[in-house]
Structure 1
Amino acid sequence: MIGLEGALYPWRFRLVLALLALMVGAIAWRMLDLQVLDHDFLKAHGDARSVRHIPIPAHRGLITDRNGEPLAVSTPVTTLWANGKELQAAREQWPTLAAALGQDPANFAARLEQNKEREFMYLVRGLTPEKGQSVLDLKVPGVYAIEEFRRFYPAGEVAAHVVGFTDIDDRGREGMELAYEDWLAGVPGKRQVLKDRRGKLIKDVQVAQNAKAGKALALSIDLRLQYLAHRELRNALLEHDAKAGSLVMVDVKTGEVLAMVNHPTYNPNNRRNLTPAAMRNRAMIDVFEPGSTIKPLSMAAALETGRWKPSDIVQVGNGTLQIGRYSIRDVSRTQGQALDLTGILINSSNVGMSKVAFDVGGAQLFEVFTKLGFGRDTGLGFPGERVGNLPNHRQWRQAETATLSYGYGLSVTAVQLAHAYAALGNGGAMTPLSMIRVDSKPGTMQVVSANVAKTLQGMLQEVTESPRGAVRARVPGYHVAGKSGTARKTSVGTKGYQANSYRSLFAGFAPAQDPRIALVVVIDEPGKGAYYGGLISAPVFSRVMAGSLRLMNIAPDNLPLPEQKLAAAGQGGRN
C-alpha cells in the first residue's frame, strides 16, 4: 500500500527526503561551524564553567611624617579560608588544624559543622606568611590561602589620633586613613586561573590586570615634635591626675600642623581593648569655652577700632562689676584700682576686659572672632571635626558682650584656638591649616591689621615676662608670647557649670620677635587642687616649646649680651 502510495505521489516522498537532507546538512554545518570556523563560542562557554578571576590585593599607600619617617606601612599577610564541604571529608585532621591555628578544637569543630554546606569560609585572617605556610604544609583538604596586606603603625599610640587605622579589609576607618581613603587605597588586580567544578585550582593562566598600589601621603606632622609633645602631655596628666588633655602645634608661616597629641590614646596595632573615649581626637572633636585665652583676641577687636591703645587706662575698682543680677569678678584682687590694656592681660582682669568690650560692642567682637576662624570649619577635612559655636545676637546686651570678651558663651576646639594664635603671630595674616606637608608658600588672608598684630605680640610677650604674668611659660634663651586661661566645665544635659571641674589652658607663640610656632595646651579636669592654666598648662607649653625651637634650629632671641656674660663671670670669680 505504501509503495503504491509513493508511486502515486512521488513528489511527497522526494519532499520528505529533501527535508531530512536539509536537517542533516544544517546539523553538519553547525558542527563544522562550532568546531572549526567559530570555535570561540564553545571555548567561551567552556571558560565560563572553568576560568575564574581571583583578585590580586593592592598595596596601600605609605603614610609618612614631613621628614619621610613612616607612620603607616602595609605588610603582606596570609589569610586562610576553607571549603566547608571538602573539610567534611577530613574530620580526623580537624584537631591538628585547630592546634595549628591556635584555636580551641571543640569550638573549631562546631564552627566547621555550622558551615559544612558552604564553599567559602574564613579560617583566620592576617597571619604572617611563615605561619600561613606552616598551616598549608599540613595539606588538609579544603584549606586554601589568600595573600592580603595588613597595616602596621610604627609610631603606635604617639600618632594614633592623627593617622587613624584601617579595618580588617584594609579600608580606612579613622584619621587620615579615612580622610584620604581614595588617595591611599590601591586598585586590586585580577589573576586568571582554571578551576574544576569543585573549585579546585587546576592552572594559573595569567595576570589579567596588574594591581595598582595606592599613592604615598606625606603629613605635616614632625614625628620628633610629636614624640616630645606626647611625652610632656602624658607626664603633665600623671603629675596633676587629670582626666584628659590635648596639644596642638602649628607652623605660623605655613599653617602646617606640626604636632597633634591627645590623651588618653590607644595603640592602633592592637585594638582588642579599644574604648571609644580613647579613640577621640579631642583636639578636633572636643569643644570648650576658651576662658581667658580669648582676651588677646578681644583686645585685637578693641585695637582695630582705633579708639584704644595699649597705654589706655581702665578703672577696675575692687575687681567686681555688677550687671543686673550678673556679677563679674576678677580672680586677682591685688592688681590695683586701674589697669592699662597690657595690665588687663597680665592680671587677666575680667572686669577690665568687660569694660573695654562695652565700648567695642559685641558685634565688633563677633566680626573679629569670625575672621579668626571661630564657629567655622578649619578646612582640614578631618573626620568628625567640630566647628564649635560662636553666638551672634541681633541685639547685644552687656552681659552677653562681657562674657564673650573673656571667653564664655562660645565654644572652640584646640585646633581653632591654635589657628587664631598663629594668625596673630603671622602679623595678622591667616594661613590655611594643613595636615599635609606644604612644599610651596601658601596664600594668606589678612584678618587683623599688621600693626595691631605687632602690638599684641609685644603685649603678650609682657604677659609671660612680667612677674605677675605667666612666668611658668618662659623658655630659656627665647622671648615667648602667650596667655593662660581657666574655664569652668559646663554640665551635660543641664544648665550651668559643674562644681570644681575646670579646663586649664595656655596658648601662645615663639619666638616673640619673629614667631615661628604657635602652641595650645588643654588639660581637662586636673585633680590635685590646682587648676589654673598658668600653673598647669603653662609649664607644658614651656617644655614643649623649648624642645621644639631647638629641634627646628630656630635661633634664640633672648641670649645675654657679651658684657652681661662677662659681668656675671666677674661676679662669680669674686664670690
Structure 2
Amino acid sequence: MNQRTNSPNQRANSRAKTKPAASDHGGLKYVGRHRFVLFILAVLFGGITLRAGYLTVVDSEFLRAQGDARMMRTEPIMAMRGVIRDRNNTPLAVSTPVTTLWLNPRQAIAAKLDVVALAKALKLSPADLQAKIKRHREKGFIYLVRHMTPNDAEEVLAKDFAGVYSMTEYKRFYPEAEATAHMLGFTGTDDHGREGLELSFDKKLAGIEGSKRVMKDLKGHRVQDVALLKPARPGQDVILSFDSRVQYSAYRELARGVAEHNAVAGVLVSLDVETGEVLAMASVPSFNPNNRGTLDIDAVRNRAVTDMFEPGSTLKPFTLVAALESGKFTTSSHFDTSPGTYRVLNKVVRDHSNYGVIDMQTVLTKSSNVATAQIAMALPRDTLPLLHQHLGFGSTTGSGFPGESAGILQPSNRWNPVEVATMSYGYGVTVTALQLAQAYATIASGGIQRPVSFIKVNGPVEGHRVIPEVIAKSLIPMMETVVTQEGTALRAAVPGYRVAGKTGTAHKAKGGGYSSDQYMSLFVGMAPASNPKIVTAVIIDTPRKGGYYGGLAAAPVFSRSMADALRLMNVEPDRSSERLAGQARLPYRPAAGG
C-alpha cells in the first residue's frame, strides 16, 4: 500500500525530472541576438571607418569643398572711378571710399535682431526699419545706410548686430562745388554719371569691378581674404579743356551780375578761339553737388547748352557777313534809316532813334534794326537763313554734352519777307549760349569754325571755313566801335586790351507774343581784337534792376570775367591801359539800341 502511493512532494519532484531545462534554451537565444547586434554594429562602424578613411585619404577635396562652401564667399571689389581734372591737372571730381551697411532679413529675423537698438545706432526710425525688414523678410539683402564714413560704420559693426554686414563703395566729391556744378554734373549712389560731363564720359571714368574670395565665420564676419579672383580695374582720368581759375572767376562775376540786376538767371561761356576748347561755362542759379538733399531741379540744368533764346542784336554781325558776301554791299555802303522806321509788309521795324544816313560800321555801333532789315530785303530770301544754317544754328554743336539743344531755325517754308527781316536783327531764330559763342569764335578765327571741345586739346585744331577770311577780319574793327563811347557797350572794355563785340537786348517770348517788360540782355565779344584768343558770351535773363540793356547788364560781367581770363591764360595786352582809362573817364551815355 505504501509502495504504490507517494506523497505530494515526491510526485512534484518526479515531474520536474521528466521535463526539459527551459532556461538553457532561452539563454542560447539571448546569446545569439547579442552576437548578431554586435556583428551589425561592427559592420556599421567598419563602414563608417572605411568611408572616413576614403574621404580623408582618397577624396579629401570633397570635404575641403564642403567646408569652404560653408565658410568661403565671393565678394565684389569696387572699382575706383577716374578723376576729372582741369587743363592744369587740378582735381575737380574725385572718388573717396565709404562704407555701406546692409542687412540679411532672413538671418536677422531668425536671430531675433534687436531692431530698436539697430535703428538707434543708425539714427533711423525703429518703426520704419521694422516695417522694411518685415516687407523684405524673404530676401537675403537690403540696404540699411549707404555711403557712411568708415568710422561711423565701424561703430555700428562693433555692436555685432545679427545679419548686419558692410561693403566698400565710393562717393564722389567736387572741390569746386557750385562753380563747376553745371559743367561737371554729378554721379548717383552707384557712382555712375547722372548729369553733365560725368554722364558724357561715364564709360571712360567708370572702372571695371573685380572679385575676391574671403573666409567668413559662422556669423558671416569676414576673417581673412583668401584669394584675388579678378582685380578691379580703375577708371581712366579725364583732362578737361577748361581752367578751374578761369571757371571760378566766370562763375563769381556772373553770380555778381545776376545779383546786382536782380535777374532770374545768367549764363557765361568762354571759348578758346584757336582750339574750340571750352575755357569756362557758368550758369546761375547753381547748386552744390556735394549736398543734394534739398536740390532744386530748376537749378540743375546747364542753361548754357539747354536753354534756347532769341539772341537779338548779337546776330547783326552775321547779317553784315551775308551783305558783304553777296557782293551787293561793301564796308563803305550807306543806309538811309530815316525816319527810324521801315515797313516790311505788315511789319514795322523800328530803331530807338532816327540815325539818318549811316555807314556799315555805324550799323553795328548804333545797332540799327532798320539798316539790317534793309539788307535782308535786298538779298535773296534764303540767303540769311542758309548762312545761319552754315553757322550751326538749328543743330547742336556736336560737343556731346548731355541734353544739348539744337535751337530753332524756321523751316524754309517760313522764310517769308517778315521772318527774314526779323532774323536780320535776331528774332525768329533761337540759339543756345554755346552756339552763339561758337559763331563769334568763327569770326574771331578769321572765318574758320572749329568743333567745341570739353577735353583738353594739344596743338592746333583744323576746322572748316564758314566765312571768307577777308570778310571776317573786316568785321572785327567794326565791332570794336561797339565798345567805345559812341557804341552800346563801353562797359565791356578791358584795361590793356582791345575788345570787339556786340550787345543784344531781346524781348522775351510770352504767350504767343513778346513781353513788354521782360528782356534777355546779352553781350558777346572777343579779345584781344588785334589777334583774338578768347570769345566770351554773357546772357542775363530778365534783369529787374539797374537797367536791362545788354550794355548795362551783360557787358560789365563780360569785362570782369574776360580780364581775369586773359590774365590767367597769359594773353599779351595789345592796348595802352592809360589810353583806355582816359577814354573810360568820359561820361557814359549808353545807346538805347541792342
Q: The TM-score by the shorter chain falls in which range?
A: 0.7 to 0.9
What's the offset of the Cα at 1:202? 6.4
- Verify the 8 A CA contact 1:361 1:396 in the aligned structure 2: no
The answer to whether structure 1 residue 353 and structure 2 residue 372 are counterparts is: yes
The answer to whether structure 1 residue 219 and structure 2 residue 240 are counterparts is: yes
Q: Residue 461 of structure 1 corresponds to which residue in structure 2?
A: 480
Q: Residue 570 of structure 2 corresponds to which residue in structure 1?
A: 553
> How has the CA–CA distance of structure 1 residues 90 and 33 changed in structure 2, closer, same or farther, with 3 Å as cutoff?
closer
- Verify the 8 A CA contact 2:546 2:552 in the aligned structure 1: no
1:33-432 matches, cutoff 5 A: 51-88=72-109, 93-194=114-215, 201=222, 204-331=225-352, 333-335=353-355, 337-394=356-413, 396-432=415-451
1:497-508 matches, cutoff 5 A: 497-508=514-525
What's the offset of the Cα at 1:103? 2.1
Distance 2:261 2:425 in 1: 25
- Segment of structure 1 superposing worse, 521-530 or 74-83: 521-530
Distance 1:543 1:362 in 2: 40
User: Could you give the per-residue CA deviations for residues 440-479 of structure 1, whole angstroms, max 9, x where no partner exists?
Assistant: 3211111111110110011101121242432111111111
Distance 1:561 1:54 in 2: 69
What's the offset of the Cα at 1:201? 4.9
Distance 2:276 2:553 in 1: 27
TM-score, length-normalised on structure 2? 0.84
Pick the structure with greater CA Rg.
2
**3-state DSSP of counterpart to 2:382:** helix
What's the offset of the Cα at 1:340? 0.6
What's the offset of the Cα at 1:73? 0.2
User: Could you give the per-residue CA deviations for residues 74-121 of structure 1, whole angstroms, max 9, x where no partner exists?
Assistant: 000001112223333665744433232222344334433444443222
> How has the CA–CA distance of structure 1 residues 513 and 119 changed in structure 2, closer, same or farther, with 3 Å as cutoff?
same
RMSD across aligned C-alpha pairs, in angstroms? 2.7
User: Could you give the per-residue CA deviations for residues 364-398 of structure 1, whole angstroms, max 9, x where no partner exists?
Assistant: 21222222111122111111001101124258432
User: Could you give the per-residue CA deviations for residues 225-246 of structure 1, whole angstroms, max 9, x where no partner exists?
Assistant: 1111111111111111100110
Aligned residue type for 1:391: Q
1:499-538 matches, cutoff 5 A: 499-528=516-545, 530-538=547-555
Identity of aligned residues (%): 47
User: Could you give the per-residue CA deviations for residues 472-497 of structure 1, whole angstroms, max 9, x where no partner exists?
Assistant: 11111111000000111112xx4212
TM-score, length-normalised on structure 1? 0.87
> How has the CA–CA distance of structure 1 residues 51 and 474 changed in structure 2, closer, same or farther, with 3 Å as cutoff?
same
- Verify the 8 A CA contact 2:344 2:421 in the aligned structure 1: no
What's the offset of the Cα at 1:196? 7.8
What's the offset of the Cα at 1:56? 0.3
Distance 1:119 1:92 in 2: 14
Return the match for 1:444 from 463, 469, 475.
463
Return the match for 1:495 from 494, 512, 525.
512
> How has the CA–CA distance of structure 1 residues 203 and 233 changed in structure 2, closer, same or farther, with 3 Å as cutoff?
closer
- Verify the 8 A CA contact 1:219 1:437 in the aligned structure 2: yes
- Verify the 8 A CA contact 1:362 1:400 in the aligned structure 2: no
> How has the CA–CA distance of structure 1 residues 84 and 396 changed in structure 2, closer, same or farther, with 3 Å as cutoff?
closer
> How has the CA–CA distance of structure 1 residues 92 and 254 changed in structure 2, closer, same or farther, with 3 Å as cutoff?
closer
- Segment of structure 1 superposing worse, 262-271 or 459-468: 459-468
Distance 1:297 1:532 in 2: 20
> How has the CA–CA distance of structure 1 residues 560 and 72 changed in structure 2, closer, same or farther, with 3 Å as cutoff?
closer
Distance 1:89 1:385 in 2: 53
- Verify the 8 A CA contact 2:385 2:420 in the aligned structure 1: no
Distance 1:228 1:42 in 2: 68
Distance 2:254 2:121 in 1: 43
Aligned residue type for 1:253: E
Distance 2:242 2:224 in 1: 48
**3-state DSSP of counterpart to 2:97:** strand
Q: Which runs of 5 or more residues in structure 2 are unaligned?
A: 1-50, 583-594
What's the offset of the Cα at 1:195? 5.7
- Verify the 8 A CA contact 1:246 1:522 in the aligned structure 2: yes
Distance 2:557 2:414 in 1: 40
- Segment of structure 1 superposing worse, 537-546 or 210-219: 537-546
Return the match for 2:453 from 426, 434, 445.
434
**3-state DSSP of counterpart to 1:362:** coil
- Verify the 8 A CA contact 2:497 2:573 in the aligned structure 1: yes
> How has the CA–CA distance of structure 1 residues 478 and 39 changed in structure 2, closer, same or farther, with 3 Å as cutoff?
same
Distance 1:117 1:149 in 2: 28
Distance 2:174 2:436 in 1: 29
What's the offset of the Cα at 1:520? 0.3
What's the offset of the Cα at 1:54? 1.3
> How has the CA–CA distance of structure 1 residues 309 and 94 changed in structure 2, closer, same or farther, with 3 Å as cutoff?
same
Aligned residue type for 1:282: R
Distance 2:55 2:111 in 1: 42
Aligned residue type for 2:433: A
Q: Residue 30 of structure 2 corresponds to which residue in structure 1?
A: none
Distance 1:235 1:485 in 2: 20
> How has the CA–CA distance of structure 1 residues 457 and 505 changed in structure 2, closer, same or farther, with 3 Å as cutoff?
same
**3-state DSSP of counterpart to 2:399:** coil
What's the offset of the Cα at 1:439? 1.4
- Verify the 8 A CA contact 2:520 2:539 in the aligned structure 1: yes
Aligned residue type for 1:556: P
Aligned residue type for 2:529: A
> How has the CA–CA distance of structure 1 residues 523 and 314 changed in structure 2, closer, same or farther, with 3 Å as cutoff?
same
What's the offset of the Cα at 1:516? 0.4
**3-state DSSP of counterpart to 1:421:** helix
Q: Residue 27 of structure 1 corresponds to which residue in structure 2?
A: none
**3-state DSSP of counterpart to 1:255:** coil
Q: Which runs of 5 or more residues in structure 1 are unaligned?
A: 1-29, 566-575
> How has the CA–CA distance of structure 1 residues 529 and 473 changed in structure 2, closer, same or farther, with 3 Å as cutoff?
closer
What's the offset of the Cα at 1:48? 6.4
What's the offset of the Cα at 1:199? 5.8
- Verify the 8 A CA contact 2:337 2:354 in the aligned structure 1: no
Q: Residue 505 of structure 2 corresponds to which residue in structure 1?
A: 486
